[in-house]
A and B are shown apart, each in its own frame.
Chain A
Amino acid sequence: MAKLMLGNQAVARGLFEAGVDVVSSYPGTPSTEITEFAAKYDEMHSEWAPNEKVACETAIGASIGGARAFCGMKHVGLNVAADPLFTASYTGVNGGLVIGVADDPGMHSSQNEQDSRHYAIAAKVPLVEPADSGECKDYTKMAYELSEKFDTPVILRLSTRVAHSQSAVAEEERISRDIGAYVKNAPKYVMMPAYAKPKHVFVEERTAKLKEYAEVCPFNRIEWGSRDIGIITSGVAYQYAREALGDGASYLKLGLINPLPEKLIKDFAAQVKKLYVIEELDDVIETHCRKIGLSPVGKELFTFIGEYSQSLIKEKLLGERDEFEEYGENVPVRPPVMCAGCPHRGLFYILKKLGVMVSGDIGCYTLGAAAPLSAMDTTVCMGASVSGLHGFNLARRGEYEGKAVAVIGDSTFIHSGITGLINIAYNATNSTVIVLDNSITGMTGHQNNPANGFNIKGDPASAVSIEAVARAVGIDRVTVVDPNDLKETERVIKEELAAAAPSLIITRRPCALLKSVKHKSPVKVDPDKCRSCKACMKIGCPAVSMSTGKAKIDPTLCVGCGLCGQMCKFDAISEG
């Protein structure tokens, strides 16, 4: 009996069935659930690593040790893991090694829209791309066979609509597989120049063999329909094209994206009247087609930007549009906001009040950039808040040292904030770093991390002391404060900004959505005391609004954190 599974869940099932032993990942939307589901299988060791580089190196080590190994990440995570990837391409594998990466066209939950396929080309490793959950499982299993047959890491690339769509998957048994022997082999695994030079020759020879394989790879298939239109496509773009054109076109659906076949594509092109390449993001397949002498219609018609859809393809190729009715009146937007009771809210209110420059980072707290708090100046990548603040303070030559802070979450600090903090201490800027410790990796849906004392299974684990790390790297001023205590938070930030030394402030309160956090009853407004001053609205809480001139609390949203009560000068808001 087939089951509905997320693409990510099907990848995890594929890992299980392929006999994988070691899974090490860092959470990142839309890749997170691969590892969450993998952790449900006791037959595999699954873990959250501090960052993607560590995860990838852990998987490489496990592969060298003879296990089938996996690491998962989002597209920008592969930037962090790129260093080990490029050289693992040279060493090759012992047990099969697969790197799962999920791209986010349309940027549902990301800071950029990069196309991971470029990494496979640059690192000279095969890349496979499934188009639904069934393929997610099958391609995952096949990726291990490719990895071991061709002695190479393999990239499994998903996109949001494949990772986060559910479709039917048939479960099979886990293969029984012994851990292979480990034999010391320095020329294979020690990549110093003398050994790396012959390995580059090996990599080029491997690519030549993979090119031959691409011609017969079962993942590259032709579906014949009308030969007036020929579509070369892959991943979810294939599904959109199928939906839009049905049997009105023929399809070359590519599953192995690096290396791409030459003869197969040329043969297909020769049998259709008009050739199109339909691929989201960059023109990877199209460029290959041009390189082998074809002239398909691709990005001249389709965009480099955002997600595609059946509607887009119907409109571009057939000139057809579906009819629809607009509501007419202006519908107010509903942007994402910090949750009611979010411990980040108090901190960002104080930062706005103080008017400081805020060097931001990646996590729920990036929402501090949104109105009405609007208290964030920059967000680049994981860790950039801390190292970026150091650079900013160098540029302003002390002018901003009492007027700028970095904000970074607990998990992000462990991921890549510590090295930036070392730089602040070592190269001596008077910088103030705030770690927003909510005891969880929040934005990606509540994953434990090395600082919260629990492992991926929820079992107690060693916990990093953020205070001790700061002191150990040379930051002497370390303070912990409850961000729901507005007065104390303001006092501490002012004090640390004024101090003549670098400092670290930890705002510590667990995420309001954690099951372990007990909520209080919703707060109550006394309409007789309410002077309609709207001070309570300044914190941007979704549970607080104005109704007939008085403050109103939505009891279905309010968790009784009391922040709005601290804002009220007239004691109009009291505990429920």
Chain B
Amino acid sequence: MQTKSIMIAGVGGQGTLLACRIIGTVLLEEGYDVKVSEVHGMSQRGGSVVTYIRYGDKVASPVIEKGQADMIISFEELEAARWLPYLKKGGKLITNTQQIEPMPVITGNAGYPKNIVENIRAKGIDITALDALSLALEAGTAKAVNVVLIGVVSKLFDFDVNIWEKALEACVPPKVLEVNKKAFELGRAVPAATR
């Protein structure tokens, strides 16, 4: 199988690393060769953060470049616009509609772009948009946005749900496992065509 690429974009602190590890663990369990690439340190402090997952028979490069992602999972709406160029032609974009204002917007030096989801859809791009923050809060914590989105993504793969649950158990600390399981279920229950 040719190598496939999934990109996760978000804001430092949103838990993109954990999301990558869960998806990576599932893909490895399914028998793929997997590479997951993360960035730590300075850029994580509330900055724009991307992580890459690549899987297939034999994966070489751990990174994804413009025009190469089969799927982008964006944890924040503006980040979907920022990282759109990384989507491959015919690729799928899933975004949380939560908006976190970046510092130039907070200080009034820039405006937060409007109608991002509509603008992207107008380009003929396959985009799923959902309010993952509300679902995470329903599960019990705003921090579970990442696992809600994993629940949404899990429906796009033809894998047994047990494998996802097992990966969740392996990657999430026991103390917060219950709330994350709930978040996963709420995400998984989101219908395919939303908004």
Contacts and interface: CB of A to CB of B under 8 A. Distances in A.
Nearest to B141: A556
Contacts of A334: 11, 46-48, 78-79, 82, 102-103
A166 interface: yes
Contacts of A540: 103, 106-107
B120 A327 contact: yes
A243 B61 contact: yes
A337 B35 contact: no
B39 A160 contact: yes
A339 B46 contact: yes
Interface in B1-52: 3, 11-13, 21, 24-25, 28, 33-48
B43 to A, nearest CB: 6
A394 interface: no
A328 B119 contact: yes
Interface stretch (B64-72, B146-154, B178-186, B187-195): B64-72
A313 to B, nearest CB: 10
Nearest to B112: A332
B103 A331 contact: no
Contacts of A29: 40-42
A324 B43 contact: no
Q: Which of B21, B62, B88, B107 counts the most chain A CB atoms within 10 A?
A: B62
A516 to B, nearest CB: 15
B25 A331 contact: no
A115 B103 CA distance: 33
Contacts of B41: 29-30, 108-109, 443-445
Contacts of A556: 133, 142
Interface residues of A, number: 66
A175 interface: no
A542 B61 CA distance: 34
A546 interface: yes
B101 A545 contact: yes
A323 interface: yes
Nearest to A30: B40
Nearest to B78: A331
Interface in A551-566: 554, 556-557
B107 A165 contact: no
Contacts of B39: 108-109, 160, 164
Contact of B103 (A30, A165, A364, A370): A370
Interface residues of B, number: 64
B102 A164 contact: no
A322 interface: yes
A117 interface: no
Given A166-B35, A324-B87, A443-B41, A371 B103 contact: yes
Nearest to A160: B39
A539 to B, nearest CB: 10
A173 interface: no
B66 A542 contact: no
B37 A310 contact: no
Contacts of B133: 556
B176 interface: no
A544 interface: yes
A325 B65 contact: no
A4 interface: yes
Q: Which of A165, A321, A338, A544 counts the most chain B CB atoms within 10 A?
A: A165
B113 interface: yes
A472 interface: no
B106 A544 contact: yes
B125 interface: yes
Contact of A310 (B13, B45, B61, B142): B61
Contacts of A307: 63
A236 interface: yes
Contacts of B112: 332
A333 interface: yes
A324 B102 contact: no
Interface in B89-105: 89, 100-105
A4 B61 contact: no
Contact of A326 (B78, B85, B113): B85
A331 B37 contact: no
Contact of A309 (B63, B89, B111): B63
B84 interface: yes
B156 interface: no
A166 B47 contact: no
Contact of B89 (A240, A243, A323, A338): A323
A226 to B, nearest CB: 16
A376 to B, nearest CB: 14
Interface of B: 3, 11-13, 21, 24-25, 28, 33-48, 59-63, 65-68, 78-79, 81-82, 84-89, 100-113, 116, 119-120, 123, 125, 133, 142
3 residue pairs, one from A and one from B, having the closest CB atoms = A109-B41, A322-B67, A29-B41
Given A2-B28, A328-B119, A334-B47, 15 more contacts: A29-B41, A32-B40, A109-B42, A161-B63, A166-B37, A240-B61, A324-B66, A324-B88, A327-B82, A330-B113, A333-B102, A334-B79, A370-B103, A371-B109, A556-B142
19 contacts: A3-B28, A4-B25, A161-B62, A239-B62, A240-B61, A243-B61, A309-B65, A310-B61, A322-B65, A324-B87, A324-B88, A334-B79, A367-B45, A371-B103, A443-B41, A443-B42, A445-B40, A540-B103, A542-B103
